[in-house]
Amino acid sequence: MADVGGTLGFEDIVIDGTLPDGLPSLIPMTDGSAVTKLDASLNWPAYGVGLRRVFSPDTHTLYPRFTEQTARQALALKPHQKAVLVGYGEDPLVEAFWTRRQRDSLVERIAEQQWDLVLPCNFSIYGDWPRTEHLLNMRRCLLLAQEFAEAGVPVVPNVYWFRLEDLERYLAWVEDAPPPAIAINVQTVRDNSTWDTWERPGLHLLAANLPEDMPVILTGLSRTNRIAEMVELFGSRLTLISQNPHQYALHGAVMTANGREDVHARPEDAFAATVQYMASLLPSR
């Protein structure tokens, strides 16, 4: 409780800032190496990198290649291309980041990397955990976003919920102190039962009650029907961040209307094909 400021409420949290201009509706993720080869035929406006590519799961320190140069330089991006840090990861990784962030000045050091946008860690909410853990982790998600904002980083807080009252608390907070956008990590929701009974109803409630002009960033949607439903809900304010193009490209596969197809393409060609297909499912900007 002391670590989160002695309260489980959101009333004292304010996340100021704005989204960078020119974000595309689809932001593909890469493995943190230079995107030159993958981007050769695309000239895509933005690329994302997961936290484990920047903050080591083994040593719990920042990798030198991201501390000795800017994020854009590390990814070999062109001046107009945006670098997005997607701070989601497995529990040991995000817990280590939280524990070490102040001692090792992690937030400030990431700010020095000049990311164009950061989605901070989202801390897990499991159904069989004590309710207090849910409340602590929801507050930690917002607190970490506030710390990045105070360090001058363009940041979007992650919202994670378990019950209806959680969503109602978020909506009350957004109404009182609106952040520049909200982010939702759906990559852990794979089976249809969990999607239909938990994630999907929450997304519908948010779509109906968030300010109409508030951007929404979803990470991890990979099924065409789910993407279509979220486009119907959120329209042009939706941004999708996805690992699919890179994961498929590693195996020469592409995403199509019929699902994954193993076409044995060169990785850069497969990557470009999937990026273009997924982007075609989203509103253009």
Residue-wise pLDDT for 113-169, tens only, equals: 999 999 999 999 998 999 999 999 999 999 999 999 999 999 999 999 999 999 999
Angle, alpha carbons 148-187-210 (nearest 5°): 60
The DSSP bridge partners found for residue 254 are 261
Closest CA to 111 of 103, 98, 101, 124: 101
Nearest to 74 by CA among 34, 117, 47, 106: 34
Nearby residues of 123 by Cβ (< 8 Å), 6 or more positions away: 94, 95, 98, 136, 137, 138, 140, 141, 160
pLDDT of residue 280: 97
Q: Where are the beta strands (DSSP E) in 222-270?
A: 238-242, 253-256, 259-262
Residue pair 156/117 in contact by the 8 Å Cβ criterion: yes
Instruction: Average the pLDDT over 247-271 and give the result.
Output: 94
On the question of pLDDT at 193 being above 90, the answer is no
Quick check: 44 pLDDT over 80? Answer: yes
Mean pLDDT, range 170-182, rounded to an integer: 98
Of residues 99, 98, 116, 89, the one with CA closest to residue 27: 116
Q: Give the model's pLDDT for residue 51.
A: 98
Confidence category of residue 255, pLDDT binned at 50, 70, 90: very high
Give how far Cα 62 sits from Cα of 55, 96, 105, 280, Å: 4, 12, 11, 35
Pairing of strands 253-256, 259-262: antiparallel
| Angle CA 163–166–172, to nearest 5 | 145
Question: Could you tell me the sign of the dihedral formed by the alpha carbons of 130, 139, 236, 175, in that order?
Answer: positive
Q: How far apart are CA 198 and CA 127, in angstroms?
A: 11
Predicted TM-score (pTM) of the model is 0.96
Instruction: Decide if pLDDT at 222 tops 90.
Output: no
May I ask the CATH class of domain 20-280? alpha beta
pLDDT at 218: 98
Backbone angles phi, psi at 273, to 5 degrees: -65, -40
